[in-house]
Structure 1
Amino acid sequence: MATFVYRIKDKAGRDHTGTLEAENESAAAAKLRAMGYYILEIRNAGSPTLPSGGLLALASRRIFKPVFGGANTWQLAFFFRQLHMMLKSGMTITHALDSLGRQGGCGRGLRRVARESADHVKLGSRLSEALRCYPWIFQDLHIALIRAGEESGTLDVSLGRLADYLDREQAIRQRLRVATFYPKVLVMAVIFIPALPTLIFSGFRAYLKETLHTLLPLLLIILAVWVGYRTFSAVYPFRYVLDVIKLKIPKIGSAVRMLALSRFYRVVATMFAAGVPVGEALAYGAKATGNIFLMRRIESAIPMVRQGSTISESLARSGVLPPVAMDMLRTGEQSGEIDALLTKAAEYAEGEAEVAISQMTVVLGVLLLLGIAAYIGTVVVNFYVSRYSTIINQF
């Protein structure tokens, strides 16, 4: 008999930790499920683990695994869509996972996840428990939706809803890339255009040297900022202050707030449709905002909902949702179509965010263009001044 350390959630939503003796991990998981618990984590007590607060573990969770072992939104949507279609066609979950493990559309990382998850499921684990072993790929939201489908017997439907949600997230990101394309082109122009006189008069090698002299420090600064952000975003005070600042910046704050709230609406709508309890749906929706300040304000309404208050009354006290969204939510409560009205609220918030982003990119494009013009003008003037000074000095 081996000893296993576990972390579980009871029917009231409270977390518990402890140890359990069993022949293997599958047997330990089966005992906990028989007692009515939902398993968050289970491992052999003798298994070596990195210290949870260590720098190596932090870097692994926040940088290396997400970058080198993660999956993008499109790959996740493909993964869940394929699972949905296979289960809907009558395939067993193990056969579906084995088949996904041999397909190439979802990427190498997800193929490995599919194969390993199939092994876990064959040993008696649930799909949600198997996927929870990969927190750098699957969010708590994904696991919660899958678990809701498992408990209600509609796993294929939940997987389809999850794929739909990820498709919408990908569509929003695509629109953001299109909106910011012109400013990106202008930034590239700032790097490569000013050195063109060097290319004309001194050749390509001198031009490349001058361009790299400008480009490499910029890339190092960007890399340092990105690594610092990924590392320190796990530190609560730093993340909280940063998220508050994001919301206070003119125009940018409006877009950030609307995009965060649109994710909240869509997640809550999706989880409502899947049959997830109200308090749990709001908790996952709050996390989906990606903003700690908004998350804490929304989470403050959850105890009131669990005590019997309506969702609209509880969220009105938080002061997070705009009046239009509150009106839609009240209408949804009265008509019994909360998920449909929240989806409409998400579409409204996304439209408002797109308007703010479009305005912001136009202003940013003009400012960058003026800055480029001033910079190139300075370079040209300095070039001709030095050129004529050399000619005059020769006489």
Structure 2
Amino acid sequence: MMPDGGFVKGLRHSQKRRVSFTSSEGSQMQPYTYTAMDRYGRTRRGVMNATSMDDLHARLRQAELDLIRARLPRKKRLVRLRSTVSRRELMTFCSQISQLTRAGIPLVQGLHDLQEAMGNSALQPVLVALTSKIQDGATFSEALHCHPAVFNQVFVHLTRAGEQSGQLPQVFGSIADNLAWEDQTIARAKKAIAYPTVVATVVLTVVVILMVFLVPQLMQFITGMRGEIPTHTRALIATSQFFTRYWLLMFGAVMGGGILLKILVTRFSVVRLWVDAVLLRLPLVGAIQRNIMLARFCQIFARMYQAGVPVLQTLHIAECTIGNSVIARALRDATTRIAEGSSINQSFSNTFLFTPIPLRMIAIGEKTGELDAALLNATSFYDREVTEQIARLETLLEPMLTVILGAVLGWIILSVLGPVYDLMGSVDSW
């Protein structure tokens, strides 16, 4: 055993080394691709931010790795590092962190292993930054907080709660389940929207082609005939002339209006509130959007309640991440009532958000002390509602779009062939 004097001397040397290590933080950090060896003789490869080769060597030594060689990545790789982290990559990250921490592997070592396992994933530079931040003395939640584009407030607060309660493996397993549920819900919604969008695009394309190219040629023949032109034919001619003359102006107006609306929504909260309210009132689609958001809210509320995050803080985080200002305002009102002493069920009852069945679930969960289970049941309820509404939307839109296309084609055929048959009838009578 080291005597006291040796221990103090070693401690001073360690502190001196730590000071020299942190003093290099003021220099510019660069991502080094390294090859190192761990204490078991296994080769480790990854990417780590450092100010110099000496700094990289010191950081690897702290992670119990011996540097073999290192180099700066090529410019082509730097472009790849800026790509967006997908939800699937986050799901993999959470599942692996849950397994590593459950197995008792140190967090820094686990992040090093993940860097090697991720390969060229867009998440790898984020793992490098997380590792460096934790090695500099930050907690895991603090390191995650430095990357808001990848880890939102829910992610960070759940991680902080897991660190404080010692249940980090369970929390990350819960986050992985939540991300998987969101991925399935979004995929289902995209599938429901894809078919009607394709059909509507085909219908609109056919109508434009007929009005701009086919109808004008037929109208030259019809207007050259003697006799009175029917009203529906004159309407078709006027519509075709409008499309032919102003199609570029119409296209520019639609694009410009979309850009202007986006700018107004970004800068003015009143416009954003109005647009979000209109989106929630859209036939069929509005109800689906509302139920998806409520299901996500119940899912987040349940996970954060299980992790021990205070209710008021949970509601504030949900308000900031819900994605709709109308629903966010309702959650803000409910948060105010809860802070004033009302129960969660009563506060939600005074908003338009929840239907009676989820409210009864929440009321029972609040009385029995199993609010998290009640919120998960409410999530399942809204999930079933979304599934049924999407199926109903697919059932209604297919015949509706078919009828629209048939009506347009029927109008064109009747307007073109009607005068021809009238002319033929007059010739026969003559």
Q: When the two structures are superposed, what TM-score results if normalisation uses the length of structure 1?
A: 0.67
Contact kept, 8 Å, 2:288 with 2:390, in 1: the verdict is yes
CA distance in 2, matches of 1:252, 1:357: 9
**Pairing partner for 1:126 from 129, 139, 146:** 139
Show the counterpart of 2:96: 82
Contact kept, 8 Å, 2:302 with 2:375, in 1: the verdict is yes
SS in 2 for 1:109: coil
CA spacing shift, 1:318–1:115, aligned 2, 3 Å:
same
Show the counterpart of 1:95: 109
1:289 aligns with 2:322: yes
CA distance in 2, matches of 1:25, 1:278: 42
**Pairing partner for 1:136 from 123, 132, 149:** 149
Show the counterpart of 1:180: 193
CA spacing shift, 1:122–1:257, aligned 2, 3 Å:
same
1:171 aligns with 2:184: yes
Show the counterpart of 2:273: 240
CA distance in 1, matches of 2:112, 2:319: 34
Show the counterpart of 2:262: 229
CA spacing shift, 1:125–1:360, aligned 2, 3 Å:
same
CA distance in 1, matches of 2:395, 2:102: 46
Q: CA deviation at 1:344?
A: 0.8
One-letter identity of the residue aligned with 1:243 = D
CA spacing shift, 1:329–1:226, aligned 2, 3 Å:
farther
Show the counterpart of 2:296: 263
> Residue deviations 1:337-391, cap 9 Å, x none?
1111111111111222232233233333323223334556678899999xxxxxx
CA spacing shift, 1:232–1:99, aligned 2, 3 Å:
farther
CA spacing shift, 1:190–1:304, aligned 2, 3 Å:
closer
1:155 aligns with 2:168: yes
* Root-mean-square deviation over aligned CA pairs: 3.8
Q: Which structure 2 residues correspond to residues 217-366 of structure 1 after superposition, within 5 A?
A: 225=258, 229=262, 232-233=265-266, 235-366=268-399
Q: CA deviation at 1:193?
A: 6.5
CA spacing shift, 1:108–1:307, aligned 2, 3 Å:
same
Contact kept, 8 Å, 1:260 with 1:289, in 2: the verdict is yes
In structure 2, runs of 5+ residues without a counterpart are 1-21, 26-81, 214-246, 419-430
Show the counterpart of 1:14: none
For these two proteins, the number of residue pairs brought into alignment is 312
CA distance in 1, matches of 2:260, 2:105: 43
CA spacing shift, 1:187–1:237, aligned 2, 3 Å:
same
1:372 aligns with 2:385: no
- Percent of pairs with identical residues: 26
In structure 1, runs of 5+ residues without a counterpart are 1-22, 27-67, 199-213, 386-395
